[in-house]
């Protein structure tokens, strides 16, 4: 089943490149007893100390006029709860390997300041620290994913962090935590052992990092002896397959639970273009890099299969999303961008890729939650809005912890100036209550596509759903019109003899529920 599913996805992709546009696209959704469960953690998020993600975004401080709980905006708490975010990664990113956790605990007025050297050179007062983050995760019902400092830390600082967070009592760090007002340890399973160690984490070679990783991981202990630790090694930059190969080869299995991968979508890395004012050519290029995720995941997984045929180590795509130029007049180091239907296309297609690779991809984190890169929430003073990406993530959360249903289809192509991309992307799942969900994306900027859904294997009589689309590809939700792009009800259709036909408008995301 493993191999079958991957090759189906691959074959589909290869086919689309050569297939000519066809009137109707046939998609067969079936049931496969050995299919994996789509981990809810694929729907994770990432909040870094970067620009206005934490300070002036999530965290406004207890004295703020903006309604808050322990300094975190209530409107964002509500929005993230509604989104059912399963996990949240913090405090970086590149910031993580400059962060010394002890500076962010204890009385806030006694905490030292620090300069955020990666992002805008701003001075931070450390008022949002480990207690603030972990308590926020408890409020959200999300599992914390702590990306801990390796690049400018020591094994002692790192292991004391684990002890501070997880030890019950009677150890120096646990007692220090209690002095700071938290008696019980938190539940933190996910630990990142550094970030981008090939770059901002220390410019290490894969071989050197593999050794450093082994050293740090050796001293990490699950003090609670409950759920075990899930240690995630800093992973490859995009298509650096050598990095994955070395980690998988050189790190013993008992020391590692996950290997990360970072890949962003953009027009051109050195000429990213505006987030709102872009041409079709720029849209096409962005989608090309977004769809490359399928190849990346396939190839990194193949390396992992070689060293870990029993699939005990997860591929964790803990940074993904669209990256454009910052909005005019904003700090270039703050990475603040708007979010249009292009971002909805990136979100829909990327999540479909992760779902279809659920066997190896067990976790992923969209970059980033608030006011940075492909954010789900934007704020301006007291105002807050939900982006098209937020709506896609919410529509897709029906796949969380549901069983993958394999799909077979030949996509028509989205053609632009002699190049072709697969226009349609699909994934499907069946949840515990037996409900079937199918998420479809049409990235074509102009063409509507008729989808002929074959559901003969499934007991589905009727399909209803939610669709996200807009008049123009460049449309977005602004603070003046925060509800311009909203998911709409998709009129329900009958399934006759296992077949249903749906029309998929240009640049749209549709999630169907079968009953």
Q: Which residues are near ligand AHR by CB under 6 A?
A: 48, 92-94, 195-196, 319, 367-368, 373
Report the distance separating Cα 431 and Cα 426, nearest Å: 17
Angle between helices 172-179 and 155-166 (to 10 degrees): 60
CB of 367 to ligand AHR, least distance (A): 4
Report the distance separating Cα 351 and Cα 402, nearest Å: 14
Which residue, 85 or 436, has its beta carbon nearer to ligand AHR? 85
CB of 48 to ligand AHR, least distance (A): 5
CB of 339 to ligand AHR, least distance (A): 15
CB of 238 to ligand AHR, least distance (A): 11
Question: Checking phi first, is residue 141 left (phi over 0); if not, alpha (psi -120 to 50) or beta?
Answer: left
Which residue, 354 or 416, has its beta carbon nearer to ligand AHR? 354
Which residue, 98 or 298, has its beta carbon nearer to ligand AHR? 98
Two structure tokens written together for 35: 């299919």
Q: Is 243 exposed, middle or buried (0-12, 13-18, 19+ CB in 10 A)?
A: buried
Report the distance separating Cα 429 and Cα 234, nearest Å: 30
Which residue, 319 or 325, has its beta carbon nearer to ligand AHR? 319
Task: Report CA dihedral (385, 387, 388, 394) to the nearest 10 degrees.
Answer: -80
Report the distance separating Cα 287 and Cα 350, nearest Å: 10
Phi and psi torsions of 174, nearest 5°: -65, -40
Q: Where are the beta strands (DSSP E) in 216-342?
A: 230-237, 258-265, 314-322
The catalytic residue positions are 196, 319
CB of 199 to ligand AHR, least distance (A): 7
Q: Which residue's C-beta sits nearest to ligand AHR? A: 93
Which residue, 367 or 440, has its beta carbon nearer to ligand AHR? 367
CA distances from 503 to 102, 284, 389 (A): 55, 22, 22
CB of 494 to ligand AHR, least distance (A): 45
CB of 106 to ligand AHR, least distance (A): 26
Yes or no: say if 60 and 66 are a contact pair by the CB < 8 Å rule. yes
CB of 181 to ligand AHR, least distance (A): 30
Which residue, 149 or 195, has its beta carbon nearer to ligand AHR? 195
Sequence-distant (6+) residues with CB within 8 A of 426 are: 27, 352, 407, 409, 438, 439, 440, 441
Which residue, 66 or 238, has its beta carbon nearer to ligand AHR? 238
Report the distance separating Cα 249 and Cα 247, nearest Å: 5
Report the distance separating Cα 204 and Cα 212, nearest Å: 10
CB of 474 to ligand AHR, least distance (A): 23
Sequence-distant (6+) residues with CB within 8 A of 225 are: none
Sequence-distant (6+) residues with CB within 8 A of 434 are: none
H or E stretch covering 492: strand 488-494
Q: What would you measure as the largest C-alpha separation in the chain, in angstroms?
A: 69
Residue whose entry in the numeric block shows the structure tokens 């967070």: 165
Which residue, 343 or 359, has its beta carbon nearer to ligand AHR? 343
H or E stretch covering 306: helix 280-307
CA distances from 454 to 26, 138, 146, 179, 498 (A): 7, 42, 43, 61, 6
Q: Between vectors from CA 381 to CA 376 and to CA 382, what angle results, nearest 5°?
A: 80
Two structure tokens written together for 479: 């603070």
Which residue, 71 or 235, has its beta carbon nearer to ligand AHR? 235
């Amino acid at each position: 089943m493993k191999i079958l599913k991957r090759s189906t996805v691959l074959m589909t992709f290869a086919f689309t490149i050569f297939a000519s546009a066809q009137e109707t696209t046939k998609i067969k959704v079936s049931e496969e007893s050995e299919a994996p469960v789509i981990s809810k953690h694929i729907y994770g998020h990432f909040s870094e100390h970067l620009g206005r993600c934490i300070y002036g975004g999530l965290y406004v401080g207890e004295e703020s006029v903006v309604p808050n709980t322990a300094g975190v905006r209530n409107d964002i708490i509500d929005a993230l709860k509604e989104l059912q975010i399963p996990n949240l990664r913090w405090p970086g990113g590149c910031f993580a390997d400059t962060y010394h956790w002890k500076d962010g605990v204890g009385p806030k007025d006694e905490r030292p300041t620090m300069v955020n050297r990666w992002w805008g050179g701003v001075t931070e007062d450390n008022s949002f620290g480990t207690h603030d983050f972990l308590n926020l995760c408890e409020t959200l019902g999300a599992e914390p994913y702590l990306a801990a400092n390796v690049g400018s830390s020591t094994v002692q600082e790192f292991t004391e962090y684990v002890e501070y967070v997880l030890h019950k009592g009677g150890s120096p760090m646990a007692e220090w935590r209690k002095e700071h007002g938290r008696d019980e340890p938190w539940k933190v399973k996910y630990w990142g052992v550094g970030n981008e160690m090939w770059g901002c984490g220390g410019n290490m070679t894969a071989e050197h990092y593999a050794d450093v990783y082994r050293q740090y991981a050796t001293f990490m202990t699950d003090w609670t002896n409950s759920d075990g630790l899930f240690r995630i090694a800093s992973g490859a930059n995009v298509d650096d397959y050598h990095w994955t190969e070395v980690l998988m080869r050189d790190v013993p299995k008992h020391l590692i639970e996950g290997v990360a991968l970072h890949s962003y979508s953009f027009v051109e890395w050195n000429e990213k273009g505006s987030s709102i004012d872009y041409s079709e050519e720029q849209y096409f290029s962005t989608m090309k890099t977004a769809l490359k995720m399928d190849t990346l995941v396939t190839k990194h997984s193949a390396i992992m299969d070689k060293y870990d045929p029993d699939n005990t180590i997860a591929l964790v795509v803990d940074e993904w999303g669209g990256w454009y130029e910052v909005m005019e007049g904003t700090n270039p180091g703050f990475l603040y961008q708007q979010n249009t239907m292009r971002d909805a296309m990136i979100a829909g297609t990327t999540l479909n890729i992760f779902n279809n690779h659920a066997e190896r991809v067990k976790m992923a984190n969209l970059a980033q939650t608030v006011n940075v890169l492909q954010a789900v929430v934007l704020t301006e003073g007291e105002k807050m809005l939900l982006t098209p990406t937020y709506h896609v993530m919410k529509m897709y959360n029906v796949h969380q912890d549901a069983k993958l249903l394999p799909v077979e289809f030949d996509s028509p192509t989205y053609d632009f100036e002699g190049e072709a991309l697969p226009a349609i992307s699909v994934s499907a799942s069946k949840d515990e209550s037996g409900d079937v969900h199918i998420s479809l994306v049409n990235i074509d900027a102009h063409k509507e596509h008729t989808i002929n859904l074959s559901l003969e294997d499934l007991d589905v009589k009727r399909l209803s759903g939610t669709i996200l689309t807009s008049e123009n590809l460049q449309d977005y939700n602004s603070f003046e019109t925060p509800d311009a792009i909203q998911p709409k009800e998709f009129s329900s259709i009958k399934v006759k003899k296992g077949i249903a036909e749906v029309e998929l408008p240009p640049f749209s995301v549709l999630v169907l529920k079968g009953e």
